[in-house]
Each structure stands twice: as structure tokens, then as C-alpha cells.
Structure 1
Amino acid sequence: MAGWLMLLFMGTSLLLGACSKDDPQARLEATVRQLQESIEAKDAGAVMDLVDTRFRMQGDLDAEQARKTMMAIFYRYANIKVFAVGHQTRIDPASKLTGFTEAQVLVTGAQGLIPERASPYTVRIEWRLVDDDWKLYDLKWE
């Protein structure tokens, strides 16, 4: 279950500026904000709308498994809070269809689900641009 929480972490990793329809970077940042808002609202459907159908987390969890895990976490743990202590988002200059986010995140209020940890998690996200929408494609953390 901690695996799906890393997706939740990613959703709160950015609190960024305004979005321009013509600026892919701003659209990517807006997508991350949208993900954060959906997670805070515990709206699993809205979260899953942002996940690519080929999504992988830590190399072995697919989108459907992630959705089921997220639903269980939303149901059982009402007080999970995630704080970004640093982040960077960029679009791959070689492929304007791929974006990356790296964030340092801390978790509190998980009612024992997350191990106590003084240092933040490093979360690495790969996004894909699909039909003008950024979709979460790959998620890894350490």
C-alpha cells in the first residue's frame, strides 16, 4: 500500500504558477496541480483520469492495481498529508511528448501506514503527452 502513496506524494509535489494552453510546461504544471487537488479531495476517478493506460509504478504495479490500492487507502486513512520540500519539472528537449518531475516529499498523518522517516522520499515521475493531455506514465521513489 505504501507504493500507491508514492503516487499521492507526487500529486502534492508541485504548487506552481498559471497555465497557458499554448505552453506545454505550464500545462504539465497545471496537470500536477490538478492531481494534487484530486488527491486532497480523495477523488479516485479524477486521479485515474490523469494516469496513462500503460502506467507503471516501481516497475510492477499497473494502473488497475494502483487504483484499487488508492481506493483502499482513501477509505481507511482519512488524514494522510503530503508536503513537498523541493521539486523540479521539465519537458524533455529531445521529445516534447515526455516530461519529468522530481520531488522531495514528506508524509505525516498516515496513522501508522508510512514508516516514520526524518528524510524525505525522492520521487521521480515520467509524464507522456497523449492527445494534448499530460498523463502519468511512470513513477519511482527511493
Structure 2
Amino acid sequence: MPLWKLAAAAAAAVTLLLVGCGREDSQTALESAAQSLQDSIENKDNEELMAIIHPEFSANQRLDRDWVQRTAAMMFLRHGNVGVIALNRQSWIDPTYPDKGYSEAQLALTGAERWLPQRVGHYHVRLEWWREDGEWLLARLNWE
């Protein structure tokens, strides 16, 4: 095999490998953003929570970013402990638009003064993430 063909094949293999790694890194970052969202709620960290929320955030097509801040503050003040139990959570990147990602899960959201939950809600949630400047931000939230 001529040297130029070998070099071209090696360059193609390296390119495919790098594209695959970039996709894996994006997937890992998306999953990390979803975990950070859960952690910020459980840690009652309103500042960290709001850092994850996109400026154009919308929930169920009628609630905005201010709603997130007010609701979180109220929940954090009302309950000594806040828990998020995510079941069947999965995240994926849109194959057509690599700067869009999605997460879907069954959630149990609990609030308690001490250890026993006083309030429990079960939800099916779908989150839409937008990547800006290398960071995944929560842009859309819908639940049932």
C-alpha cells in the first residue's frame, strides 16, 4: 500500500475517533448537568439551581425563570429536607441538532422537616437542554 493511502486512512481513523470522543464528552456533560440539577435541589442551593436555568426557560409553555426561582425558594424555606428520587432517568443528544439535549425520568419529589416525608409528588418529566458556550442549560421543562 502506498504511503499516502496509509496516511489518509490513519487520518480518517483519527478523525472518526475524535468525533466519537466529542459526542461521548457531550453526552457525559449532559448527564452531569442533569445530576447537577438534582443536586442543587437536594442541597437547597438556589444560586446553583439558577445557574443551570437558561435565560429563555419555559415550563409547561406558561411558566418562566422567575417561577423557578420563587418556587424553589418557597420549597427550600418550607422543608428542612428536599429529596429528588429519579427513576428510569435517561439523557440523549438530538442527532440533528447537537446543541440540544433531552432528559426524561419518573421523579418522586419529597419535602420533609426531618427524615419522614411530609409531602410527596410523583411526576413524569421531560427536560430540554440547550448547550451554550460549552455548558448545558435547562431551557424547557414539561411534566405530567
What TM-score do you get using the length of structure 2 for normalisation? 0.74
Structure 2: stretches of 5+ with no match in the other structure = 1-21
Take 1:102 and 1:83, find their aligned partners in 2: how far apart are those partners?
13
Give 1:22 shift.
7.0
Q: Secondary structure at the match of 1:99?
A: strand
Instruction: Write 1 or 2 for the structure with the bigger share of strand.
Output: 2
Give 1:41 shift.
1.4
Instruction: Write 1 or 2 for the structure with the bigger share of helix.
Output: 2
**For residue 18 of structure 2, what is the aligned residue in structure 1?**
none
Give the conservation status (yes or no) of the 8 Å contact 2:44–2:82: no
Q: Secondary structure at the match of 2:88?
A: strand
Give 1:39 shift.
1.5
Task: Tell me how many residue pairs correspond in the alignment.
Answer: 119
What does 1:1-142 correspond to in 2, within 5 Å? Answer: 23-110=25-112, 112-114=118-120, 120-142=122-144
What TM-score do you get using the length of structure 1 for normalisation? 0.75
Task: Please identify the structure whose Cα radius of gyration is greater.
Answer: 2
Q: Any idea what the Cα deviations from partners look like across 1:19-74, whole Å, max 9, x if unmatched? A: x8971000111111222222221110110000000001111111012101111110
Q: Secondary structure at the match of 2:69?
A: helix
Take 1:102 and 1:130, find their aligned partners in 2: how far apart are those partners?
20
Q: Which has the higher relative contact order, 1 or 2, with Cα contacts under 8 A spaced 6 or more apart? A: 1
Structure 1: stretches of 5+ with no match in the other structure = 1-19
